[in-house]
Amino acid sequence: MTSSSRGLPLLPTPRGDVSSSLIEALRRPPGTALVSAVEPPDDPLTDEDLHLSLYVCYELTYRGFAGVDPRWEWDPALLALRRALETPYEARLREVVGGSASPDVAEELRSLANGEDGPSLSHYVETTGTLQQFREMCVHRSAWQLKEADPHSWAIPRVAGPAKAILTGLQYDEYGGGDPADMHSALFAVTMDQLDLDPRYGAYLELLPGITLSTVNVVSMFGLHRRLQGALVGHLALFEMTSVGPMSSYSRALARLGLGPEARRFFDVHVAADARHGEIALQQVVGRLLEDEPQLAGDMVFGARALTQLEQRFTDHILGCWQADRSSLRGAAA
């Protein structure tokens, strides 16, 4: 278990030299020395030490950790380390996603949303997955779903005019339209509870592999850097555009596995909401923002392609493990 009695997650077990130095420092007052240089790993997209370290740095800007002084969030040494981790990660992402000089953003996002490269995790879970595999998938997704909407909300203060108003409306829906029980993060916690999983924020951090943390770190990186607002909006738009099909599959999977409406509500709500949200995000958020800031087009495509690349690696990891008859989580299964 990695959550304290106060609700804040506990600092995780290190996975290498960088995370060891970082986690040890966070147990002390801000100003404690940190490593100042990071050797780029072989695979910056999935490396365990890099992504646990980056995840821990980012969490200081969300809810933090039990026993960690909140002033660490803006500690100069921590920010320098965070940047040293982000640099190889962003560089590798830009290398693998490629780019074009003058992309047609709407056309590119529709193409990515309709693409069917590689195996589908949602199709496997719907047709073949066991209850234990569904539980395992929810453990992976808890890193994102229990903070759902928060990273994308960083876009709100960074845009202006109609795009801001429309984006705020989208995020209002994500936060339950003002009803705490209907917040999407709260609905996912209910699903976890129905599956006999621990629904507390950060409870499964120890079990999450680097690729899972990477799928969350990418949107945190986009959200926390104003220079990457285009990438954040591109990520948001494609995320909304590609939600309905998988969420429908997951709901049907739970029905096949004998789970009732309460367990399925998180997925059913997304099917209804994101059927609207995807087109709104594309036409009214992306479209309106590009009218004011056309120079953001390239980064919008970058953010969307980064989402696609990391999600495919995430899927390959999980299905590869399941096909080899082993858990896709670190250590023991949930």
Q: How confident is residue 5, by pLDDT bands cut at 50, 70 and 90?
A: very low
Residue 222 above 70 pLDDT? yes
Distance CA 189, CA 143 (A): 11
Backbone angles phi, psi at 3, to 5 degrees: -115, 140
Q: Dig out the tokens for 90 from the structure.
A: 């962003």
Distance CA 308, CA 111 (A): 11
pLDDT of residue 331: 86
- Verdict on whether the full-model pTM lies above 0.85: yes
Widest distance between CA atoms in the chain: 53
The stretch 14-35 carries a mean pLDDT of: 95
The stretch 230-239 carries a mean pLDDT of: 95
pLDDT of residue 4: 47
pLDDT of residue 1: 42
Q: What letter represents residue 38's amino acid? A: V
**Do 47 and 41 meet the contact criterion of CB atoms below 8 Å apart?**
yes
**Do 2 and 205 meet the contact criterion of CB atoms below 8 Å apart?**
yes
Distance CA 279, CA 288 (A): 13
The stretch 195-222 carries a mean pLDDT of: 98
Q: Encode pLDDT of 56-77 as tens digits.
A: 999 999 999 999 999 999 999 9
**Do 76 and 25 meet the contact criterion of CB atoms below 8 Å apart?**
no
**Do 298 and 103 meet the contact criterion of CB atoms below 8 Å apart?**
yes
Residue 252 above 70 pLDDT? yes
Residue 334 above 60 pLDDT? no
Distance CA 277, CA 291 (A): 20
Residue 98 above 90 pLDDT? no
Chain centroid, CA 244 distance in Å = 17
Residue 288 above 50 pLDDT? yes
Q: From the CB of residue 16, how many other CB atoms can be counted at a distance below 10 Å?
A: 14
The stretch 27-39 carries a mean pLDDT of: 89
Q: Encode pLDDT of 133-157 as tens digits.
A: 999 999 999 999 999 899 999 999 9
Residue 277 above 60 pLDDT? yes
Q: What letter represents residue 219's amino acid? A: V
Q: How confident is residue 3, by pLDDT bands cut at 50, 70 and 90?
A: low
Percent of the chain with pLDDT over 90: 85
Rounded to 5 degrees, what angle do the CA atoms 82, 84, 90 make? 90
Residue 274 above 80 pLDDT? no
Q: What letter represents residue 162's amino acid? A: P
pLDDT of residue 275: 80
Residue 102 above 90 pLDDT? no
The stretch 189-209 carries a mean pLDDT of: 97
pLDDT of residue 202: 96
